[in-house]
Structure 1
Amino acid sequence: MPLQAPATYTADAAPGGRVSLLCVDLVDSTALIQALGDGRAGVVLARFADAARELFLARAGREIDHTDGFLVLFDDPVAALATALDLHARIAALARDHAIRLGARAGIHCGEAITRENSPDAVAHGAKPLEVEGLAKAICARVCSLAGADQTLLTHDAFEEAQYARRDAFGDPGHLRWLSHGLYTLKGVDDALLIHEVGREGHAPLAPPQDVEKARHLRDDNLLTGWRAGAGQEVPGRAGWMLERKLGEGGFGDAWLARHAASGEERVFKFCFQLGRLRSLQREVTLFRLLRGALGERSDIARIIDWRLDEAPYCIESEYYPAGDFATWAAAGGGLDAIALDTRIGLVAEVADALAAAHAVGVLHKDVKPGNVLVARGADGKPHARLADFGIATLSAGSRYRHGRGIVPTGMTAALALGESSRSTGTRMYMAPEQIEGREATTYADAYAVGVLLYQVACADFGKSLAPGWEGDVADPLLREDIAGLIAREPSARIGSLEQLAARLRALPQRRTQRAEAERRQARELKRRRRRRWLAPALALLSVLVLGLAWGIRRVSLEAQRANREAATARAVTGFLVDLFKQADPEHTRGEQLTVREAMDRGATNVQAKLAGQPDVQVPLLSAIGQVYLALGLFDQAQPLLKQALDADDAVLPRGSDERAELRLALQDTEDALGHYTRALELGDEALREAQALHGDESLAAARARIAIGNSYNGEHDAEPAVRNLEQAVATLAEIAPRGDDHAEALWKLAVSYIYLAREDDAMRVLEESLGMLREHPEGNQTSIAAVYETMAGVERNRGNFRAALTRLRAAQKIYLDLGLAEHTSYASDLFSIANAQSLLGEFEGARRDFAASLAIYRKAFGDQAYPSYALNLKALGGTLSNLGRFAEALPLLRESSAQYARLPNLAASNVPRMQGMIGLAEVGSGDVERGLADVRASVATLAAAVAAAPDDEDAIGNYVEAALTAADAEQLAGRADGAHRTCDDALARAQPLQQHALIYNRVRRAKLLLCVDRTVEAAPLLQQIDASGYHDRFLDRLRRQAGIATTTTPDAGSAID
C-alpha cells in the first residue's frame, strides 16, 4: 500500500516545508566485510563515515540517520549533489588506498516533509537530534536503492534546481555529464517519477539503472532520455559553443545561455526533450522563417539564428538579450512603478507593431505575455521590445501560407498542417474568453492579450489579472479607452488593427493635450450655456448663418460698387440675425421658449418673405438654413431651400465656386435621404464634371463628388458603380489628403458598398481603418465614429454575430446621448438598429420598446411626411408586434408603412407588395382570414412576377422569398398547411442564387423553406449555424416544433408561442 505521512507529531514538530535530502550508502557492504574481515572492513567503513561527515559539515548538511549509509538534510539540492560527487571521489581514493573494489550509491530528492528537533533529554535517552517524517524521506531511500555503484540519481525537481547552480559549483564541469533515464515507478508512491543522473565521465556509470524490487522503469515513447544540458558542456553539434547557465524551462524543455569559446559571443539555446513538443519547436522555426521571408528582418521580433531538428538533442539557437524578458527587466529596474509610464507604454506599442506585422501574413501568436516579450537596449540607448516564442503560434484560416503555399521551409510544412489548432492554449491570465471557451482564436485573441498587458503596464503590476472594476486601477482615461477597446467580451467588438493601436499609444502625449483642450472648451461652453440659457436656440444657428453673411460679403466684394453693396448686405444680414435672436429671447417673447426647429422655421419664412428682392443676402441665408435643416435630419424642410439657393443666378453664386459645389453636395445628401436617388446621382455627376473641369480628376473636389456619387449608388443598392467611385476617391485622398475626414468618410461609405456585395472581411478592414483615422482627432468626429460603429454592427449582423452587433450599436448610442442628441434622427436610426438586433435574437419585447422609441423621434421630426427610414421603422415595429402575436396592434402600423412606401417612387415597386404580405399575415392573425390570405397570395404573385422579369436580381429574389415565407406563415396560421407547403416548394426553386452568399439571412430563409416542406435533414446543419448566432423568430420556432427539432437558445419570454 502507498506510504503515508504520520498523522500526528509532538509539539516540537516544525511545520511542513520543502526539504532537500541526500541518501547515500556503500554498495554491498556485507560482501566487503566478508572479503576483508571485521577489522580491516571496520577501518574502511570508519574512513568512509569520517569522509562523509567532513563533507556534510562543509556544506551545512545535518545528519538525520546513519546505519549502513546516511540520510542527510541540506538547504538545497546543489549542496546535496556537490556532496555526493565529492563523496564518490573520496571513496574512489579510499578504494585505491586499500586496493579493493568499493563504490557508493546516492539518491537526492526535494519534497515536502516535517522536521522535528528532539530535546537534549530525549537525545540522552537514545533519540536522534533531528528527525524527518513524510513521503519525501521514503522517496529518497527508494531512489538511492535504484542507483548502482558510483551512481548519483536525482528526482526531477532536484535535478532542475541543480542545473541552475554556478558553473563552478561542482568543481571542473568539463567532464560532468547530465542525463535523464525516464520514468520510474517507486513502491509505495502513487505517481511515476522522472529519474536523472549526474556524474563524472570515466567514473560514473552514466547509464539507466536496472530495475530493483522497489523501483521499476516505466516506458514512455514521448520522452527523450539521455543527454541533458549542464553548465560547462559543449552544445552537441555546435562546436565551440559552451553552456554557461540555465535561463529557464517551460513546456518545450529548457533554455540555456551559451558562449562561444573563441569569440565570446552569447546566444540562447532552447532544447526540447519530448517528442510531443518537438512540433512546437518546428512550428516556431517554420513561422519565423515565414515571417522573415514575408517581412524581412524586423527588430521587434526576436531572431532565430539556427536550429537542430533532425536528431537529438533537438534545439533552436536564438539571439541573446541580456536584459531578459519584460518582467525580469522591470524587476531589475526597481519594478514597473519605478519605470516611466511612457517608456512602459512604448514597449507595449512595439509589441503591437510586431503582432500587426505577424497578423499581416496570417500568423497568430496566441501566447502574448511579459515572459514572451524580450527587452533589448537599442542604438539610441533606450529599451526596445522583441516579441519571442512562436511555439504555439498558428496560421489564421485565411492565410495564404496555411496549406504550404508561399514561404514555408522545405520539409516543415507538416509542422503547420498537422497538430495545429487555433484552439491551442496559452497562458490563462492573457487568454481571451473565446480561447478559454475552446473556440477558434483569431487576431482578436492576440489583441485581447495586448489589452491585458497594457492594463498591467498601466497599473504597474504584472501580477494583476483583469476583473470587474479594473477601470479604477487605470488613472489615464485615454488608456482606459484603449484597454476597453482591446478586451471587449466579443472578439469583433475589439480594436482590430494593432498597428493603429501602436500609433495611438505613441501619440498619448498629443492625445492628452487634445483631450485637455477639448475639456476646457466644453467647460467654457457649459459656463456660457448656464449664463445665457435662453440664447441656446439662436446660438445654435449663429455659426452657419454668419458663414452665410461672410459668403454674401465676399461675393459682392468683387463687384464694382463694392463698398456700398457690402454695407447694404451687412446691414440686411445683421438685421435678419437681430430679428431672429429677438424671437429667441424669452423677455422679447414674453416667456415663450423657442426650440431650434421653431427658430429655423420662422427664419426660413422671413428669408422667403422679406429678402425676396435681395438675392445677395437671401441666397447665402437659404443655403445656411437649409444645411441646418439637413444637419437636424429635417430633409423635407431642407430640400426646397437648398434647391432654391442652387438655382440662383451665376452673378450671385458663380459657377465653379466652392460655395456652389458645397451647396450641390448638401442638396445631393438631402435627395439621398429622401430616397430620390436618380436626382441625387444627377447632382453628383454635375459636381464631378465641374470639379474635373476646374480642378482636375485627382483633386479634392473630384474626390468629394465621387464620395457623394458612391453614396447615392449605395442608396439604390447598386454596389458595383458605388465601389468604382469610392475606391477611386480613396486612392485620390490617400495621395492628396491622407487620414483626413474626407479619407475616413470615403472608407466608411466604401465599406457600405462592400457589405452590399457580401464582402464582409473587406468591409470590416476599411471600417477599422476609417475608425483609426477618426480616433486620431475625436473632437468634432464623434457622430462619424458612431456611424462607423453602426456600420460595423451591420457587418457583424450579416455574419450572424448579433451580440457583437449589439455591442457596437450600444457604443454608438452612448456617443449620441453624450452629445445630447437623444431627439435627433441619427439617434433614432441607432435605436432602430439596436431594436433590430434584439429582434434577431428573439428579444421581441425589448425590440418593440426601442422600435417604438425610434418611431416617436421620427414622428416628431417628420409628421406625416414620407421618408425611407420612417417607413422602415413603421414596418419593423409592426413586424415585431406580429412576432409577439399582437396582430391587431401591428395592422395600423403596417398599413401606414405601406402608405409611406407608396409615396417613395424609388422604393414603392419592391416594398408595397412586400407590405401587402405583412398586412395579410396580421389580418389572418386578427381573425380576418380570407382577406389576409388574399393579400399574402397577391404579394407573392406580384413579387414572383418581378423575379420572372429579372431572374438574376438577388434583391428581387430576396423580396420574393420573404413574401413567400410570410404567406406560408399566414397559411399555417389559417390551418392551410398544404398551401404553405406549395408556396415554400416554389420558393425553394427560385431561391438558389441566394446560396452563393453565406449570410445569416440566407441561411434562415433556406432553413425555413426546407422545414416547411419537411426536408429536415437538409435543414439541420443550417439550424446549427442559426443557433450559434442566437437568431429567433416566431415562425421559425413554430416550424422547429412541428419538425420535433429543439432549439439551443430560448427566445424572449415576451414572444408569442402559437
Structure 2
Amino acid sequence: MSETPDIFRLGGYRIESLLGRGGMGEVYLAYDERLHRHVALKRIRADGPVEAQARARFRREAQAAARLNHPAIVQIYDILDTEHGDCIVMEYVAGETVAALVKRGPLALAQALRLASAVADGLGEAHAKGLVHRDLKAENVLVTSAGQAKILDFGLALPLWGNSPSPALTQEGALLGTVHAMSPEQASGRAVDHRSDIFALGVLLYELVTGRSPFRGANLLDTLRRVTSEAPAPLTESRSEAPGELVALVARLLEKEPERRPQSARLVAAELAALAVRVPIDVPPSLSHEEEPPRPTPAVREPSGDEPTVSRALAARVAPVPPASAPEAPASGDASMSDWRPEEGQALPRRPHWRLVERLGEGGFGDVWLAAHAVTGERRVFKFCVEAERLRALQREVTLFRLLKEALGEREDIARLLDWSFDAPPYFLESEYTAGGSLIDWAARQGGLGAVPLETRLELVAQVATALAAAHSVGILHKDIKPANVLVHTVPGGPPSIRLADFGMGLLNDRSVLEAQGITALGFTTADGEGASHGAGTLRYLAPELMNGQHATLQADIYSLGVLLYQMVVGDFSRLLAPGWQRDVEDALLAEDIACFVDGDPARRTSDAREVAERLRSLERRRAQREAEARTRLALEQARRRRALAGWGAVALALMLAVVSVFALQAVRAGEQAQAARAEAELRRQQADRLISFMLGDLYGKLEPIGRLAILQDVGDKALEYLATVPEAEQTPEELMQRSKVLGQIGQVRFGQGRFAEASRAFLESLQVARGLVAREPNNGGWLFALGQSEYWVGFALTQQKDLKGALQHFEAYLDISRRLVAMDARNTDWQLELAYAHSNIASIQQLLGDGQAASSALGASATIMETLRAQRPEDVLLQRELAQVYAKLGDAARSRGALPEALKWFRQNLTLLESLAAGAPEDAGLRRLLGIARSHVGDILLFQGDTRGALAQYEAELDLARSLAAHDADNVTWRGELLLRYEKVGRCQRVLGNLATARALFDTELRTATELLAKSPEHRGWRFALARGHMSLASVDGAQGQETRARGHLREALAVLEKLCAEAPAERDFSLWRASGLWQLGLLETRAGAAAHARTAWEEALASLGPGEQAPEPSVLDLRARLLLGLGRADEARPLLETLDWMGYADEESLRVRRSLIAGGGASTARAGP
C-alpha cells in the first residue's frame, strides 16, 4: 500500500487518500461501500517483528476496544487481516486535537470542564470493560465541530509490544512526545492500571485550563524528573479565577502515588460535570488576532515532532527506482530553497541524479530518506535538516566519523559516511546503504529474532561490542546503542556481520584528539564542556545514572549493550529490562554476564567492551570449566555428607548430654585450679561451645525439616545451664561471639516449639552480646553479620507478638547492617543475599502497616537481588526457597491492591518453584508446609475470580498436606492451627457448590478439634479464634438448610468469643473482620425473621467493626463492606465499591448471588461465613 495511493478497494472499502501517519502506522480516508459512509482505515505498522502471540494479543484487545460504545470514544468498526498487515477500520472524525486547541491558549473554564468530564466518562466506560488506555494525552483527544470530545486509540498500542507497560516505553522514538503525560509509575517502568489513566486525565485537564503542560521540561530527563518528583504549579498561577474545588481536584488527580488519586474515572466525570454547571459561562483569555483559525484534523495522531530517536536509521528495504519524470529539485541558489522539503520521487538539491525513494524515519534533526541513483540504481541514505539550529547532531556525527576514520582507518564494522552539505539549506548527510537493514529489519526477514540461532545472535552482539570498543579506544562514546542503530551486512552464502551506525548523539571524552588529527569540532560548542551530554538516547537502553542526570561514561554504553544482549538472548526487541528479567534467560552464564553489564552501579560494570565480546565468544569454554568446577564441589560435598545422621536415639542423646555436662563441670573446676591448668580449661570450654553449636546448629538443621524439634529441648536446657557457669567477663571476644550465636540458636529452637517468651529472651540476650562486640570492632565483617542476624530474630519475635513498629525498628537496623556489609565487599554473594532478605522483611512489615507502596518497592529490590544471585548460584536451594517467598509477598501486595490477575501470576510462580523444590526434598516438612500455603494463595485468587472448583482442588491438596504434617509432629502448634483453617476453606467451597453434608462434616471436625485443643490451653487465642470460625461455618450451613434456630446459636457462640478477642487484641485485624462477617450473617437471619430494625443494628455494628474504608483494601473486605451498605439501603455508597470489585474482576460465586439478591430487593440470601 503506497503512501499516496490511487483509488482502489480493500475488502469492502475504497481507499481515497492518505490522511496522515501516526506512531503506529498510516491512516487513510476510505469509503465503506456497503454502509455508504466514510471511515478511517489505520494500517498497523511495527518497527520490528511481530510474533504470533503478540499479534493475537493485539487482535484480542482491539476486539475488546471495538465493544466500547460511548460518545466520547472513537468507535472501532472492523479489524482486517490483509497482505499489507492488520488494519483497523474506525469512525472518521473531522475535528481538532486538544493539543492544537490549547496551542492558541487555555479554554474557557466551562468548556474545559465539559470536555474533561466527557473524556473521564469515556475512560470510566473503558475501565468498566477492563481496558486501560495507557497513552491518554492532548494529541489523542479530538474535539469535533460540535464541541464533542473523542478519545483515540483505545486498545491499539500495547499488544504490539509484548509485555511492555506502555507503548510510550516500547515504541522507539515515541517517548519524548508522550512522557509529559505519563503517570509516575508508567514513567518508572512499573505496572500500570486504570489509575494511570486518571493521572493522564489530570494532565489533560491542566492543559485545557492553563494552555500548557504541567510537567514538560527542557529535555527528556528534566521532564521525567518533573513527572516523578515535582508537583506542578498551582492552577491559580495561570487562572486566578479557577474555583478552589477545581484546584483541589487537579491536585488529587496528579498525586504521585496511585492510591492517593481518585479511584474511579466516572466519579471524576460527575465531579467535573457538577463544577461545569457552577462556574460562570466565560470566554478564554484573549488571543492574538493574527492567529490562524483551527484546521480540521482526522482521527489519527500526528507525530509530535520532538521524538528523540530515529526509529529505522540508516537502514531500508529495497524499493524501486523512481521514474525519470519525477520533479527536479530547485537549484541551490533558488529563493524557494529554504522552503524545500523532501517528498517521494523528488530529486535532491545539488544531487540531480539522486531521487528520493522512501522515507525511513525521523529524528531531532529532521527526516531520514532512502535515495536511488536514476542511472545506476545505487542506493544511499540521506539525513535532512532544514533548520540551522537543529544541525548540531549531523555536524557532530561527521566530526566523530572523521576522527574514527583518521585514527582507526576504514572499518567494516562502522557504517561509513560518504558526504555532507552544511553550507546552505537543506542541510544533509549522505551515508552508505546497507541492504540488510537494521537488526530489526534483518530479524523480521529471518522469521523473527527467535528464529535466528542463539549462536548467531550472540556473535552479532560480540561484533557490536568489538566496534564499540574501537570507538571507545579513541575516546568516543556512542550513547545510543540499540537495534535500530546496528545495521546488518549480508553476503550470499556467508554469515551476517554488523555495522555500528548513528553517532549523532555521541560524546567525545577529550577534544584535544581532534586538534591532533586536524579535525574541526563541528557540532561541539565551547559551552558544552567536556563530558557534556548531547541528548538522552533511547529510554529503554538508557543507563540508570544518565536518568539521574550524571555524565555519560564508557560504562553507560556497556549498559546499553547489556540491554541489547538481553533482548537478543530472549529473542524479543520489545522486551524491557524490568525487575525479574533473569527469569527469561535460561542459560545461567548468560544471565550472569548480562547482570554484570547492566549492574545499577556503573562502578561494578566493566568499562571495556572487548570484555563483552570475549565473554560471549568464550561461552562454551567457560561453561565447560564451570561444570568441571561444579563436579569437583559436588564430590567434596558428598564426601562431607557421608556422615549419616543414623541411630539418633535416646542412648546417643544421653551420651551427648553427658559430654556437655562433663565439659561444663571441667570448665568450672578449671577456673579454681592453678594458673598452669587454665589453658587446658579454656580449650575444653571452647570444645563445649563447639559441641553446643553443632547440636543447636547442624543438628537443628537436620531435625527441623523432619519435625523432631522435641529432641533438642533437653539439649537447649543443658546448654543454658552451661552458659550460666561461664562468667561473661572472663570470655574472649571470640567466645562472646560464640555465645551470641548459641543464644540465637536456642531462641530458634524455643520458637519452633511455640515458647515465644523464652525465645524472645534468648534473642534479646544474643543481640546485646553482639552489639557489644561490634562496638569494639565496627569493621569486623563476621561480627557485623552476626549482629544483623540478631537484629533479625528480635524483629521476627516482635512481629509474632504483633509489635509491628518495634519489629520495623529492628528490621531497619538489619537492613542498614546488610548495606554496610555489601559496601564492605560487593562481591560477597552471601552478604548480597542478606540485603535481599532485609528488603523482604521490611516489605512484610510495611504491608502489615498498610504502606503498600513502600512494601512493593522493597519487594522489587529483594526480587531483583535474588534473581541475579540465582543466575549465579543455580544449585542454591535455600536461595530458591527465599525467592519463592518473595514471589508470594509480591502476590500479597498485588492482592491488596485488587490486582487479582497479577496476584495469581505471582502466586503461581511461588507454587511452581516450591513444587520443584519439594520434588527434590520429599522429607522436608517445612517445605511441604510452604507448598500447602502456596496452594492456599492460588486457591484464594481462583475463588475471588469465581472459579470455585479450581479453588477447591487447591484447597483439598493443601488439606492433605496439612493433615500429614500435623500427624507427623503432634506438638507443632503452628501446623495444628493451619490444619483447622484448611478444614474451613475446603468446607466453604463444598458449601458454595451445594455439597452441604460434606461441608458440615468438615466444619464439625474443625469445631471438635478446636474444642479439644482449647481444653488443654483455654486461653490460647489461636484455638479460640478457630472455635469461633467453626461456629460461624456451621451457622452458614444451618442457614442454608433453613435451620435458623441452630444457626443463631452458633452465631451467638462465635460472636461472644470474637468480641472478647477483639477487646484483648484490637490490632489483630482478622478478629474484627470475622466479627463483622458474623454480624452480617446475624442481620440476614433477622431480615428473614421480619426483624428489620434488629438487622439494621447488626449491620451498623458490623460496619463499625470494619472501621473506616481503606484506600487499597483486601477484595473480600471490600465485598463485605459493599454487602453491608446494600443491606442498609445505602446504595450510593456501595456503588463505587461495586464498580471497584467489577474492575478487579472479583466474581466470587457466593458473593455475586448475595449482592444480586440485595440489589433486587430480595434480602433473604444464603449466608456467607468469613470475610
TM-score scaled to structure 2, two decimals?
0.46
Question: Which of the pair has more CA radius of gyration?
Answer: 1
Q: Report which structure shows greater RCO (CA 8 Å, sep ≥6).
A: 2
